[in-house]
Structure 1
Amino acid sequence: ASLLQLLGFQMLGSRVWGQHSLGVDIFLQTMGNPCLCKTNLSFSQIGSLENYYHFHHSKTFKRSTLSSRGPHTFLRMDPKVEWLQQQEVRRRVKRHIRGDPPSLPFNDPVWPNMWYLHCGDRNSRCRSEMNVVAAWQRGYTGRNVVVTILDDGIERNHPDLLQNYDPLASYDVNGNDHDPTPRYDASNENKHGTRCAGEVAAAANNSYCIVGIAYNARIGGIRMLDGDVTDVVEAKSLGIRPDYIDIYSASWGPDDDGKTVDGPGLLAKQAFEHGIKKGRRGLGSIFVWASGNGGREGDYCSCDGYTNSIYTISISSTTENGYKPWYLEECASTLATTYSSGAFYERKIVTTDLRHRCTDGHTGTSVSAPMVAGIIALALEANPLLTWRDVQHLLVRTSRPVHLRAADWKTNGAGHKVSHLYGFGLVDAEAIVVEAKKWKTVPPQHVCVGSLDRVPKYIRPDHVLRASTLSSACSEQREQHVLYLEHVVVRLSIAHPRRGDLQISLVSPAGTRSQLLARRVFDHSNEGFKGWEFMTVHCWGERAAGEWTLEIQDTPSQVRSPTAQGKCLHYRLLQALCPKFHSPQTFRSQIFCPNSPKFPRMGVKAKPYYTEAGHSLGSCNSVFEAERAKQKGIKMKGKKGKR
């Protein structure tokens, strides 16, 4: 402990409103609970990650690494320090574009303008296929479900948020306190989180502003975007009270500039994994993510490691008329879609705004993630025992193409219609609560790791490199054998003179083609891809075994030599699958899937899965349900960047 004091580490905890400060942040991984972490020094645990600590070194200038070498060397000498890392500031942008249900309609003054929820204006162009009102009429309003907005804070005393605000689901990571109130300035820069929160849980029938989709849910905010965003900041934010918070909604990510390839760091990845394994007392935290607004720049959301993760639910947008918005990013990891803004003549989304106001200018995929978070809250009220994978299965089964216009709609080998623009279609709130009510938990995943192909393969200009892999889905290993797919992941390392010239596709044994990467005209990088993971949900429910084909096409642009070749250094097929089930899912470089009944024939609508082997909703889970209800104060009946 005295060593750290001599090295200049200081206490953390004062509220920070500014954007920058002197000093650097150090992250330590220790063996057990070291004595140095029991003192009153400047440390804090990284969210809910055990044996990971955050220290601040005040005697070092942020842009200097030389002056940190001494302290780093001394810290590494401590026998209880296994690993340390100086934190780097990352750029994260908000993804905006520069009880019994009450009788309807509501008395909230902006309710008539909420065209995406109802068609009360009798406008012939109005569509409401998300069926939120129908879910309310079935009695589901998000009661006893906790949703948190990861953003620039939320205005907790806003008249439309105050009733449902939950301080236990809130924290200020930027300022190290429990008040998530945004920092106010003349430009209202930090309005984003408050707008997202209103979509989810604005109060109903309070004669003010709007009605939230889950208007009886509890809403919290994590203030984490109004300052330097590091791996530690993200990990802390993703790990706030995972046993209490059900759903985390995030409408931000790396720059949507058509040239960035970036994603969560080591700590944030561990926070995601901890959340899905331990969150909600083992059912898994639910992370909902906006897919990105880089459509105008030709961006592709598979280059965003947050929306491209199997742990997140990536949500896209459509206009009121079902057209592709100008900002939409395509990719194979998008799971579903909601309404949002479109062309200048199309209507936008109304929601809460800073300084106790309302706005009709909420735009982009920032809108869509909170909408789905609210709809998932309705589903969790219908069935509190849904796991994080159950929720993804329900979205796949109940989302619909309806009037969404896309040239690439296809039917995969399991009978699911899917698109790179919209995933499995528009979210249907009524359908998801009906299915959730009778849903039985999917069995545990099986993991099958594909072999690593280390034979370098040249990528010639104006040619397509095809590499085929025959997968047995680990049939020779009983504990890992999988039959039906959930997510499929390809981990790739490629050296190339201009990354933006590449197109990558994966063809499943059933013939389903997933475009993992499209050309990006602004991506001039010669760094290629280093172990980057591309994920697709387009093979959901298909059989895992068979021949998989990876295709890499190089179309040289005029800014590079037409003869310069690239090289595929190595790749690995990773799938998340089920042993015997109607619809599985994949992890990074693996195949997973649960045990289940006979898979339905292609083109036949699958019925809800009632497992005999997995968790039942019987006596064992009723004990857990009662404990969870007690924690949240639920009265049980019997048995419970910015985009």
Structure 2
Amino acid sequence: MTRLSIVVLACISAAAITVINGIEHDSVCSGSECADSHHTVIKLVKRDDALARKIADEHDMEIRGEPFMDSHYFAYHKDNTGRRRKREVLQSLEAHPHVDAVHEQIPRRRVKRDYVVNDNERVVAEESSDRSRRASGSSIVDQGISKQRRQAGGGLEIPRLPFRDPLYNDQWYLVGNAVGGFDMNVRKAWLLGYAGRNVSISILDDGIQRDHPDLAANYDPLASTDINDHDDDPTPQNNGDNKHGTRCAGEVAAIANNNECGVGVAFKSKIGGVRMLDGAVSDSVEAASLSLNQNHIDIYSASWGPEDDGKTFDGPGPLAREAFYRGIKNGRGGKGNIFVWASGNGGSRQDSCSADGYTTSVYTLSISSATFDNHRPWYLEECPSSIATTYSSANINQPAIVTVDVPRGCTKMHTGTSASAPLAAGIIALALEANPALTWRDMQHLVLRTANPSPLLDNPGWSVNGVGRKISNKFGYGLMDGHELVKWAKDWRTVPEQHICTYEYKLAAPNPRPLTGRFQLNFTLEVNGCETGTPVLYLEHVQVHSTVRYGKRGDLKLTLFSPAGTRSVLLPPRPQDFNVNGFHKWPFLSVQMWGEDPRGTWVLMVESVTTNANLAGTFHDWTLLLYGTADPAHPSDKVHPPGPPPTGQSILGRMQQLTSQTEDAAPEAISIGDLRSVGDCHEECAAGCHESHSASACFKCKHLQQSLRNRAGFKCVTYCDDGFFKEDDSCKKCSPLCHTCTKAEVCSTCPGALLLIDVDHFAHWDHGQCVEKCPEGLVADYESNLIQARCVLKENFCGAGYFMLPNNGRCSNCDEACELCHGAGPIYCDKCAQGFGNRSVGYCRPCCSNGQKPIDDHCEDCSAAAIASFSHLSHSSPFWSFVWLLLAVSLVGLVIAAGYFFFRDERSRDGVEYTALPRYNAASGAINLDFSDDSDSEDEIMKTGQI
């Protein structure tokens, strides 16, 4: 079940104070920078188009376009509504019983990542390009390679090369005419018969010229829409500014052998476009684009992002993060959508793609650029989240990318990382035709494993990671190779389940740590694979979430060192960035440790390169997030043996010790009935086996015994497989409602895009349950754990000791039993106050004094012995906790009933007046300290934030 919400693209007043939340802070406008937008988005409890229109009409609004993400609706005010009236509308909508939430949105600046040259430069460049092509002899190369067509099999249509399209020979990046004879090895993939059949790609941009003669036959209406004008036609405005999306589409899917322009990399794929950059861009506009038809679209290609100005930190908002999450969980029938992103064009301003939350997302493949002569283009941004590179332009004296143009015709001047991302999308489409079963993580593995660093090794900055792969902050793992990618894709087996291990650095006093002038600090974390649960032994993504305040953010440099010695510069200095706030919980990403064993010492080096001794700041925290698998993804991978078993030897460990003693010793007799071991047992067997090299043929297990999924018997394992949980020396099955679990009915991850309830107290006793939507009082968190979205408590704007009243938004005191709470009474405590405890029941009650007994006196035994005893009981028997809870609640109910009759006359007493507490606006996240409800002044004291 889902709910209807309304998102307003409105501006905060100049008097407002912005609270940064996560990864989107630099996009938030303030003061005169804010444009008062008329956009609104509504989300209902469940999808109901007629009801959405009715609710909007009741509030002088109208619904436009189709809903997105189940039940979100774009709405518009019917007239030029004033600020006060808009606030009233938002408050009324939030109170509506069919409205789930009201998210107030702010327009964001998003830029296309191309490089526009003037007309004089264009003529010079195209003449230079023509000279380069004529000197190359690419037709001869193609004629030679076409002789291989008879050798290709599989029943696929093999093209005859060269194609007759007039600009095909100008596509130097496809026909071996980069300096040194390099290209992206796509022709060999074509000659295997692959051209992107049955693969749908959507270009998220300023629209697509769907009737262009080089695109029309491949146009896919199901991968297209117009978010800006809320209709189905993505055709761009023909005003000279909206060519970008069409040009990107031509790179992917321009038709071959039709005498038009050049050839798309995946010339038989289906191509669509979303018009979303030709108007106000907001979190909701991005989310609607990213979530379009996720079961139909295979690949989304985006060649835009935050301002590449060298001074911006910005990324996706909460709705866009949810769209990404839904895409990788549910898209393509559960295999996950593939999001390809241009890494950025801010190189001339010394920008870094580490400050771009789209390229630092684990869900995207961030693609960099290389030039005609295999060097770094002037606009390239460096970061360790770039996974691979494709070709693009450099300057007016070198050739650029050939593609279609708006409204007709062709161009040979498409440039920037904007041109690189669509080439990558086309190459990926070839691999998906070769193996449609590939998941989004399979594709990341394949892209980095098949990338070719050789053409780019003359550039400085290359190093070798802990598993022997060459890595670069400029080019990722190298130049994408279409033939190798297809060849690996054909026989690729789905990678093991991804897990996450989180290590939070505990900062000793002083906390936060003061920073002054030029400095270098090293913070170390010891990692053992995972504190609990399935270990991560083979790394994939590595994230560092950190908060640092500093007088000039651009003087900060962050470097991460893995236990294998791999060095990733997470954030280089950015001279243009004079921001004085720093960054808050920013998710820096590195893919450079891929395949390494994470166990050992990690070091985060935080330093300043400033020359100003008076600059000051504070270091607050950092968290290391390790994404990866317990098993190798490919047979050729270096094996990382599991660590030693937990301390404390079990009987099975004792048996293994006995059987491994030398022959001179007198081993203790072991009785296994009448069975005799056949020898050469699996390494997990203890005391023999009845079949060699089989983990399911052991007499006893060395570590853990796990039941077989579909038949009787067991197998021996080092750790429990997904779908099982560890209990003593056995792995037991999780509930079918869980994907993984810590107890039979307590999930740790959920199937599909379900949300995990991650609040552990009585009022939400279904902790560890998987739900379609969060229960009342909880909100969805798509940021802190990218493998599993969770339902968590709303951020408490009232502060410690207070909670938000649900009806009027005022803050009220917590019960005396609570130090922290989210509702009235001891049952809603999040942390008990001093002198109270909740070890034996699910709510806080007074600790027992001398001589008192918990059952007789309705108190809590807060002694150390009782706490230790209950800690074991609560983990082993939640049933008895629940029984005690019911008894306690029943007794409390009797006491309250008796008290009601005895003290009912007390109601006539005069009430005691208390100082009014702030009023909270859940629609905007605002707390109003001025209690006059009719104020419409610009000087209202407001504090805003986003949930």
Is the partner of 2:429 in helix, strand or coil? Answer: helix
Structure 1 pair 37/297, CA: closer, same or farther in 2 (3 Å)? same
Q: CA deviation at 1:414?
A: 1.3
Q: Which amino acid aligns with 1:566?
A: G
Q: Scaled by the length of structure 1, what TM-score is found?
A: 0.84
Is the partner of 1:337 in helix, strand or coil? Answer: strand
Pairing of 1:269-288 with structure 2 (within 5 A): 269-288=321-340
Is the partner of 2:245 in helix, strand or coil? Answer: helix
Matched, 1:531 2:545: no
Unaligned runs of 5+ in 1: 10-19, 584-595, 603-611, 616-643
> Match for residue 95 of structure 1?
113
The root-mean-square deviation of aligned C-alpha atoms, in Å, is 2.6
Give, in whole Å, the separation in 1 of the partners of 2:51 and 2:602.
51
199-208 vs 80-89, which deviates more? 80-89
Q: CA deviation at 1:48?
A: 4.5
Structure 1 pair 463/44, CA: closer, same or farther in 2 (3 Å)? same
Pairing of 1:546-561 with structure 2 (within 5 A): 546-557=600-611, 561=612
Give, in whole Å, the separation in 1 of the partners of 2:515 and 2:374.
38
Contact kept? 1:453, 1:572, Cα under 8 Å: no
> Match for residue 77 of structure 1?
95
Alignment match of 1:567 (pick from 609, 613, 618) = 618
Contact kept? 2:63, 2:75, Cα under 8 Å: yes
Give, in whole Å, the separation in 2 of the partners of 1:55 and 1:544.
48
Give, in whole Å, the separation in 2 of the partners of 1:66 and 1:297.
42
Q: CA deviation at 1:36?
A: 4.0
Structure 1 pair 45/446, CA: closer, same or farther in 2 (3 Å)? farther
Q: Which amino acid aligns with 1:548?
A: W
Give, in whole Å, the separation in 2 of the partners of 1:108 and 1:114.
11
> Match for residue 532 of structure 2?
477
Structure 1 pair 426/388, CA: closer, same or farther in 2 (3 Å)? same
Q: CA deviation at 1:298?
A: 0.6
Which is bigger in relative contact order (C-alpha 8 A, separation at least 6)? 1
Is the partner of 2:606 in helix, strand or coil? Answer: strand
Alignment match of 2:494 (pick from 434, 441, 464) = 441
Give, in whole Å, the separation in 2 of the partners of 1:58 and 1:568.
48
Q: Which amino acid aligns with 2:243?
A: K
Contact kept? 1:169, 1:220, Cα under 8 Å: yes
Alignment match of 1:219 (pick from 264, 271, 276) = 271
> Match for residue 466 of structure 1?
522
Q: CA deviation at 1:127?
A: 2.6
Matched, 1:363 2:415: yes
Structure 1 pair 30/179, CA: closer, same or farther in 2 (3 Å)? closer
Is the partner of 1:56 in helix, strand or coil? Answer: strand
Matched, 1:25 2:64: no
- 1:80-128 Cα shifts (integer Å, max 9, x gaps): 4343122211111111012513201111000111111113xxx683533
Give, in whole Å, the separation in 1 of the partners of 2:207 and 2:580.
37
Q: CA deviation at 1:242?
A: 0.4
Pairing of 1:178-327 with structure 2 (within 5 A): 178-185=232-239, 188-327=240-379
Give, in whole Å, the separation in 2 of the partners of 1:513 and 1:136.
38
> Match for residue 37 of structure 1?
52
> Match for residue 402 of structure 1?
454
> Match for residue 558 of structure 2?
504
Matched, 1:335 2:387: yes
Pairing of 1:537-548 with structure 2 (within 5 A): 537-548=591-602
> Match for residue 638 of structure 2?
599
Give, in whole Å, the separation in 2 of the partners of 1:21 and 1:553.
37
Q: Which amino acid aligns with 2:39?
A: D
Structure 1 pair 51/225, CA: closer, same or farther in 2 (3 Å)? same
Give, in whole Å, the separation in 1 of the partners of 2:601 and 2:640.
21
> Match for residue 512 of structure 2?
456
Alignment match of 1:49 (pick from 48, 66, 69) = 69
Alignment match of 1:577 (pick from 604, 624, 628) = 628
Q: CA deviation at 1:351?
A: 0.7
Contact kept? 2:172, 2:183, Cα under 8 Å: no
Q: CA deviation at 1:257?
A: 0.5
Unaligned runs of 5+ in 2: 10-33, 57-61, 117-155, 642-708, 710-720, 724-947
Q: CA deviation at 1:76?
A: 2.5
Structure 1 pair 538/297, CA: closer, same or farther in 2 (3 Å)? same
Is the partner of 1:376 in helix, strand or coil? Answer: helix
- 1:400-454 Cα shifts (integer Å, max 9, x gaps): 1112132211110011111000000000000000000000001221122223535
Is the partner of 1:485 in helix, strand or coil? Answer: strand
> Match for residue 132 of structure 1?
186
Give, in whole Å, the separation in 2 of the partners of 1:256 and 1:23.
24
Contact kept? 1:582, 1:598, Cα under 8 Å: yes
Structure 1 pair 449/164, CA: closer, same or farther in 2 (3 Å)? same
Q: Which amino acid aligns with 1:434?
A: K
Q: Which amino acid aligns with 1:419?
A: S
Is the partner of 1:379 in helix, strand or coil? Answer: helix
Matched, 1:170 2:170: no
Give, in whole Å, the separation in 1 of the partners of 2:95 and 2:54.
19
Contact kept? 1:330, 1:420, Cα under 8 Å: yes
Q: Which amino acid aligns with 1:74?
A: S
Q: CA deviation at 1:30?
A: 4.3
Q: Scaled by the length of structure 2, what TM-score is found?
A: 0.57
The number of residue pairs the alignment matches comes to 566
92-101 vs 268-277, which deviates more? 92-101
- 1:498-534 Cα shifts (integer Å, max 9, x gaps): 1111011111111111001111111111121011110
Contact kept? 1:199, 1:374, Cα under 8 Å: yes
Matched, 1:110 2:167: yes
Alignment match of 1:487 (pick from 541, 555, 575) = 541
Pairing of 1:619-634 with structure 2 (within 5 A): none
Which protein has the larger Cα radius of gyration, Structure 1 or Structure 2? 2
Is the partner of 1:190 in helix, strand or coil? Answer: coil
Q: CA deviation at 1:66?
A: 4.5
Is the partner of 1:553 in helix, strand or coil? Answer: strand
Contact kept? 1:22, 1:58, Cα under 8 Å: no
Contact kept? 1:24, 1:58, Cα under 8 Å: no
> Match for residue 471 of structure 2?
418
Percent identity over the alignment?
47
Give, in whole Å, the separation in 1 of the partners of 2:175 and 2:617.
52
Q: CA deviation at 1:600?
A: 4.5
